[in-house]
Amino acid sequence: MGAYTDDAGKEKSVWFAIIFDFHRTKTLQRLSYSMALVGLYAFAVDYVESELLHVDFKPPSYVFSMLGIVLGILLVFRTNTAYDRWWEGRKLVSKLGYTWKNVAIKLNAFLPEADYENRKYFSAMISNHSFALKESLRDGIKPEELTEAEPGLLKDLSKIYHIPNFFLTKICYKFNQLYKTGVITDMQFLEISRHIDDISEVVSSCERIHSSPIPFSYAIHLKKFLFAFVLILPFGFIHDLGYWSALIVMLIFYAMVGLDVIGEEIEDPFGQDENDLPFDSLCHSIKKNVNEILKVK
């Protein structure tokens, strides 16, 4: 449900059907418990006001209008800031992929056809760097994803502070050896060095996004404002909708708090949340492409 297969065998989304794919809506799943509490709160407010206290408290409509405007500005800033970080991360991982493929294409032209040893080494090390960067941004390491390009290469990786830099240093050292032995020319060495600079910039930029989240005080301020808004929200609907106001409050809560939850999820786009970047598939794609370009089996 939610998709169909066209004549070319590609899966296409059906807009209306996607609405009912609740099992895929992680935001709704995360907020379902909170939504139930908010609905019970709105129901309790209505019951106490109309059945027990018999009061007629109805705040002026402009109160909700003003609060809604302020809250909307905060949510727009929150969403735009998080999306900018996600979009920059998307461009960076794309740059990582095409830069390493450019390096492989040029190495394929520079290295002798029979130099299988160096081809295999660079293929393994480029893949190692990509996988290491991915896990470094997730504060971990997966040795099973790495390839032993030279004896003892993967020994004691846990003792190395920055594993992506370790692999990039090894690659640069190998390039320098090829230059000194005359396998590649000075112009070829400078051309590849330019790509290595680009890779180093990608690493630093990804780490900047990962290590500098949106200020905690701002996130807390938004959550407090959202909480206060939800507390007074039922009073704006009780007199017109009665107990049905609980559903309206739940819907508004889902719309507003859902934006905050999505912002939290995508502000660090290198993780493994549903809406994070497909970094794992990118690394496998880099490995497959580099192996094919350098003719490594």
How confident is residue 197, by pLDDT bands cut at 50, 70 and 90? very high
Domain-located, residue 185: yes
**Overall number of domains in the chain:** 1
Helix (H, G, I), strand (E, B) or coil at 158: helix
Domain that holds residue 199: 91-212+279-293
Q: Is residue 261 domain-resident?
A: no
| Positive/negative CA dihedral, 192, 195, 199, 200 | positive
Rounded Cα–Cα distance for residues 297 and 280 (Å): 21
33 pLDDT band (50/70/90 cuts)?
confident
Share of the chain above pLDDT 90, in %: 40
Q: Is residue 226 part of a domain?
A: no
pLDDT at 130: 95
pTM: 0.81
Is the residue at 29 inside a domain? no
Assess if residue 161 is contained within a domain.
Answer: yes
Residue 175 lies in a domain: yes
Question: Could you tell me the pLDDT band of residue 193, with boundaries at 50, 70 and 90?
Answer: very high
From residue 249, alpha-carbon distances to 31, 184, 207, 222, 245 in Å are 13, 68, 39, 18, 6
**184: in domain:** yes
Whether the CB-CB separation of 265 and 205 falls below 8 Å is answered with: no
Does 252 reside within a domain?
no
Does residue 62 or residue 35 have the better pLDDT? Answer: 35
Q: pLDDT of 249-292, one tens digit each?
A: 888 888 888 888 888 888 899 988 878 899 999 999 999 999 99
Within 13 Å and on the Cβ side, how many CA atoms surround 123? 22
